[in-house]
Amino acid sequence: MNGFRLLAGYLDAARQQEVVQAVLAAASAAPFYRSETPAGKPMSVAMTNLGALGWVTDRNGYRYQPRHPGTDRPWPSIPDTLLQLWRELAEADVDADACLVNLYRDDARMGLHQDRDEADFRYPVLSVSLGDTAIFRLGGETRRSPTRTVRLASGDVCLLSGPARLAFHGVDRVLAGSSRLVPGGGRLNLTLRRALPAPSAANAL
């Protein structure tokens, strides 16, 4: 699909380890938690966030907010190593201000969905896979669009931009034991986004 870009093995082993350590250190201040959809269905992934805003879901809906729903503390900053990755690949004039961190253990998966809670769809969603390999499903702009699957291994980075920015996508399953990178096993998926509008030219002066 136009706008979907997969960079297989973009992060080498050393950089993968660096990112995992930075993310888990941040998660000590913003613990992983289980949330539920607006319909009350519990999600199978555990999640946390980094950055000025974090994506959350509960009975009140999908949204970005500045504080962890459990601790009521601000989310930790996005580590420099991830901001550098955004600057390398996103081709954006502003930095990411949100990084959703999903932890897949056991039989966790993610249903088909769109990332559409951001203010400006000109900015891509940049996804980083760490740990166990995922069977990623990519569709089109409607739920009825044809889909295909792609294996995302540890160190792979993909971008959803342009026509693919609002493509439905999800994770069918994770291949348990395919990596030893994440302590305790499983997969970390990091999605960097720009949630707020870019500063206007007037405000930038």
pLDDT greater than 50 at residue 152: yes
- The domain segmentation of the chain, as residue ranges, is 4-197
Contacts of 29-38 spanning 24+ positions with Cβ under 8 A:
29/73, 29/76, 30/54, 30/68, 30/71, 30/73, 30/75, 30/76, 31/68, 31/70, 31/71, 32/101, 32/103, 33/68, 33/69, 33/70, 35/69, 38/62
pLDDT at 93: 94
pLDDT tens digits for range 16-47: 999 999 999 999 999 999 999 999 999 999 99
pLDDT at 200: 73
pLDDT at 204: 45
Topology annotation, domain 4-197:
Jelly Rolls (2.60.120)
Q: Is the pTM of this model over 0.85?
A: yes
pLDDT at 198: 87
Cβ count within 10 A of residue 1: 18
pLDDT greater than 80 at residue 77: yes
| Whole-angstrom distance, CA of residue 50 vs CA of residue 78 | 5
Average pLDDT of the chain, as a whole number:
96
pLDDT at 201: 44
pLDDT at 202: 40
pLDDT at 199: 84
Q: What does the DSSP 8-state code read for residue 74?
A: B
